[in-house]
Structure 1
Amino acid sequence: MFVIITYDVNEKRVHKVCKKLREYLLWTQNSVFEGELTKGKLNKCLAELEKIINKEEDSIYLYTIENPRHLKKTVFGQEKCNDDLFL
């Protein structure tokens, strides 16, 4: 499935969250990651993130697209992530 994860965490934890997400997804914009993940890898990623964040202060938003054919992405301006580099 295709996922988009965005986050807003205390600056003390930003680096740890960003580093963890880079293990699983592509960085596309500040605090935004996206890519294809299996349900198992997604669950593992989320469990690892829950160990890092403080649920009283931080937030993580998860958007899932079960069928990527229904996704249309349009970038206005400079694209920060170039998927062609990974293909």
Structure 2
Amino acid sequence: MYLLIVYDVDVKRVNRVHKFLKSYLHWRQNSVFEGEVSKAQFNEIKTSLKDLIDETRDSVMIYKFPSKKYVSLYVLGIEKNTIDFIL
């Protein structure tokens, strides 16, 4: 599955959330990550994020798609942190 994760967390927790998500996904720009994950990884991400954030103050939105082929990207302005894969 393909995930797009957008978050707004307190400055005290933002580095931990960023570092955690970077271990699974590609950083696109401030508070935005995306990438392919397995179902098990998706469950790990959800569980770990619940432990990392304060659900009464922070916000994490996870957009889930069956695969990347269902995602269309349109960039206005500068595209940051492009995802390039070299085989």
What is the TM-score of this pair, normalised by structure 2? 0.90
Alignment correspondent of 1:34: 34
8 Å CA contact 2:36–2:67 kept in 1: the answer is no
Query: 2:43 is aligned with what amino acid?
Result: N
Alignment correspondent of 1:22: 22
Greater helix content: 1
Structure 1 residue 77: Cα displacement = 2.0
Query: 2:49 is aligned with what amino acid?
Result: L
SS at match of 2:45: helix
Amino-acid identity (%): 41
CA distance in 1, matches of 2:67, 2:23: 23
Runs of 4+ in structure 1 off by over 4 angstroms are none
Question: Structure 1: which 5+ residue stretches go unaligned?
Answer: none
Give the CA RMSD over aligned residues.
1.2
**Alpha-carbon deviations, 1:33-77, whole Å to 9, x = none?**
000011110111121111110111011000011143221112222
CA distance in 1, matches of 2:21, 2:39: 15
Q: How many residues align?
A: 86
Query: 2:26 is aligned with what amino acid?
Result: L
Question: Structure 2: which 5+ residue stretches go unaligned?
Answer: none
Segment drifting more, 39-48 vs 74-83: 74-83
SS at match of 1:74: coil
